[in-house]
Structure 1
């Protein structure tokens, strides 16, 4: 097997990378995501692949695609996604008809984890858990460098574990509805948007354009703003609870963070103690590391997924 393409589908952009046998990213191309028009979305993917073929002067032997949301394994249809046009659609079958080459779909968050398990921050560890802290919260679990997807293909969806009402009450936070249909999901509180929500809920001020973002909350806390520092402390406690649950469930040898919040150095210094608070005596917190591949991780992981499922590695 020669070149494989990996495609990462996000709420604002779609990125394609090409990986050779050495798993190095030798080519990258990005376009905006058509979020509302399904036909436009399909044509955008097909156009992206055709452009890569033309630029590289070859046809990739397989394509891996990291798709957001959950897929019904019975029907193959998307149940939920941050790209509204995909909901209810059989994305895999429709793209297969257009691309006419081996196509392998995976969850975008799981592809991030797979990438970091191969040549990334989790290289050499027997198991790893990749944690995304971005617009949402989720992740993926790899053992011996291979993705563990699970019976429903949702292994790693820790963002939809429910936070105990007593823990939310400790911080005077409401029990929020989640787009998944559940209430009190970790994602609503520990994602980047969750941090901004916590800051707003405890009285953080707004900006002229509207609500401030997570990066602004962190910047204000670093500048000494009391409300922002309190928001970070609450966020850290809730995130510590969530990751303690991950450790108790699968006991990974390392945790790798991704998403926008993974860029803040203080998280790596303060998170281990916040996790330990929610673990019983004798349970150690594994290393918590920043990602190696950053924004390229999801697309690279999709290419790796295609190579693994094609039997190349």
Structure 2
């Protein structure tokens, strides 16, 4: 048995899978985000209940927001404050008396989607999240690549090229990470809305903006094509650097169907002529990829290649 935990700021989800990764049960509970002892107790209780239900000790994988310090193994998780400064891996392994694999939730998404029928023939798969923020994960030959500091896939905090600012008169945005003009500030949900507001569109939210786009509103179409150009630049850069075979998009903006036909053509001007754009794919497992990828961690992760 494999258990996957998907931990967020408001909910903890556990799912159990058999050896063929068929889901057997799923449960959600509120996240005790301010109390570390209560948080640990919650994970232990859910795991023990699953053990009892399935008659043995399952492998445990945990996906959560934030990063793990590669030296101290302490967490930094703004959305789950009680985890910051804690060595979750050590503590939960002691309580459960078994190995526990832990990874960033974006990495879990990428790992899950790299183990799907639509990606089975691709060697290098990148899961690109475009939702509240912009993050991702890299999977090579079905193995999660994290890198020395666990930062592989953090494309959202690379800088947007100067040529795009000149071509599209883009505004300069500071980022919460401390840098300026990060891709995340332009291609995330709030980034697209910020572009809309900067260029004077009256839409107060993304559904309104996309309704205007589909209704042939000229300004909405200009804004959305600027967004596509910036996102295409980021993905093409990743493809040139890593020779990506396929991108699987995740997050709220991955539900916008217009993205999929527009991105490949927009990527072409950033790639060598002999290099066709990588496949741009919608997620197969979507919101279920968090727990599914976490459940795969024990069998499919390594620190370096």
TM norm structure 2: 0.90
Q: 1:181 to 1:95 in 2, by over 3 A?
A: farther
Partner of 1:282: 274
In 2, distance between residues paired with 1:287 and 1:298? 22
Partner of 1:17: 15
Partner of 2:156: 159
Q: 1:301 to 1:74 in 2, by over 3 A?
A: same
Q: Alpha carbon RMSD of aligned pairs, Å? A: 2.2
Q: 1:126 to 1:49 in 2, by over 3 A?
A: same
Partner of 1:98: 95
Q: 1:44 to 1:171 in 2, by over 3 A?
A: farther
The 5 Å alignment of 1:205-224 reads 205=202, 207=204, 212=205, 214-224=206-216
Aligned mate of 1:240, from 222, 225, 232: 232
Q: Deviations over 1:68-121 (max 9, x none)?
A: 122110011123544344333322223223333221111211111111121343
Would you say the 8 A contact 2:67–2:104 is kept in 1?
Answer: yes
Aligned mate of 2:27, from 26, 29, 34: 29
Aligned mate of 1:113, from 102, 110, 114: 110
TM norm structure 1: 0.88
Partner of 2:192: 195
In 2, distance between residues paired with 1:174 and 1:83? 32
Q: Kindly tell me the number of residue pairs found equivalent between the two proteins.
A: 302
User: Helix, strand or coil: the match of 2:42?
Assistant: helix
Partner of 2:3: 5
Q: 1:250 to 1:45 in 2, by over 3 A?
A: same
The 5 Å alignment of 1:49-60 reads 49-54=47-52, 56-60=53-57
Partner of 2:180: 183
Aligned mate of 2:243, from 246, 251, 254: 251
User: Helix, strand or coil: the match of 2:15?
Assistant: strand
Kindly state the Cα deviation for residue 297 of structure 1 after the two structures are TM-superposed.
Answer: 0.8
In 2, distance between residues paired with 1:60 and 1:200? 52
Would you say the 8 A contact 1:272–1:288 is kept in 2?
Answer: yes
User: Helix, strand or coil: the match of 1:89?
Assistant: coil
Q: 1:177 to 1:111 in 2, by over 3 A?
A: same
Q: Deviations over 1:13-32 (max 9, x none)?
A: 32211111111122111223
In 2, distance between residues paired with 1:60 and 1:234? 51
Aligned mate of 1:269, from 258, 261, 275: 261
Partner of 2:285: 293
